[in-house]
Amino acid sequence: MKISSFVAVMGILAGAAAPVYAASSGVDDELMKMQHEAVLQSNQELLIAYHLTKVSNYRVCIPEQPGDIRLKVIHDGEVTEVLDGTCETVSGRHIDVMADSKIPAGDDLVLKFGHAKAA
């Protein structure tokens, strides 16, 4: 087998092995376009944005996960809760996220986030 044929066959096989995502909901489509992904464990906090004067807009999503998982987004003193399998848009100069529910030992909370247009 020639090298070019081998590369073509491997490319086809790699494409066939790639996961196929069904567009079952708008959240699934949105998750595919997110710029950042993070994993949080219980009692862990993540700083998303900190600016002295500039207000940032972020879209924060949690893919559907086993259990009743919620995320607390703290933005300029306000709190927004993101439920399992949903997204929320928040604005603020200081934006933190943390798990708002107990995560079972050995499990993690997966979240995705990215810049959003101003409302």
Q: Is the pLDDT of residue 10 over 70?
A: no
6 lies in some domain: no
pLDDT at 91 over 90: yes
State the Cα–Cα distance between residues 114 and 99, nearest whole angstrom: 18
Give a yes or no: residue 98 inside a domain. Answer: yes
Q: How many CA atoms lie within 13 A of 46 on its CB side?
A: 21
The CATH number for 35's domain is: 2.60.120.10
Query: Does 4 map to a domain?
Result: no
Domain span at residue 56 reads 23-115
pTM listed for this prediction: 0.68
Token code pair at residue 56: 């940032």
Check residue 69 and report its DSSP letter: -
Specify the pLDDT at position 11: 36
Q: Does 16 score more than 80 pLDDT?
A: no
- How many domains does the chain divide into? 1
Is residue 16 situated within a structural domain?
Answer: no
Give pLDDT tens digits for 33-77. 667 888 888 888 999 999 999 999 999 998 887 778 889 999 999
User: What's the pLDDT band for 28 if we cut at 50, 70, 90?
Assistant: low
Is 1 inside a domain boundary?
no
Residue 86 in domain = yes
